[in-house]
């Protein structure tokens, strides 16, 4: 399977996303956990999305340079969406890639 996105090690990008099918995602918590292997019980790191426009369903995951300072590899990530009442609505498991910077 091809990774959904690529991050350069040591960079601090933001990855945008959108949830559709909801009147508003106000009060939702959307988190992403990065793991080397899908069966790992502890993630390398987790980031929580900032809601950009709750009515449009847009959000962005911020990454710090410390989080992305990982070895070049394809990593597994999980996205978990929890609504304002604490109900888990979605859990998605996919792939991302961290690459070495070009100097």
Q: What is the pLDDT of residue 53?
A: 98
Distance CA 20, CA 76 (A): 23
Q: What pLDDT score was predicted for residue 33?
A: 96
Can you list the domains of the chain with their CATH numbers? 6-99 (2.60.40.10)
Torsions phi, psi for 29 (to 5 deg): -115, 125
pLDDT single digits (tens) 27-84 = 999 999 999 998 999 999 999 999 999 999 999 999 999 999 999 999 999 999 999 9
pLDDT at position 96 is 97
Instruction: Report residue 93 as tokens.
Output: 């498991």
């Amino acid at each position: 399977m091809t990774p959904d996105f690529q991050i350069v090690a040591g960079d601090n990008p933001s990855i945008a996303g959108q949830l559709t099918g909801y009147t508003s995602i106000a009060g939702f918590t959307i988190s992403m956990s990065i793991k080397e292997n899908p069966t790992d019980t502890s993630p390398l790191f987790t980031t929580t999305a900032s809601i950009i426009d709750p009515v449009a369903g847009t959000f962005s995951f911020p990454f710090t340079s410390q989080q992305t300072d990982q070895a070049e590899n394809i990593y597994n990530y999980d996205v978990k969406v929890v609504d304002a009442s604490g109900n888990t609505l979605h859990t998605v498991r996919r792939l991302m890639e961290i690459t070495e910077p070009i100097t």
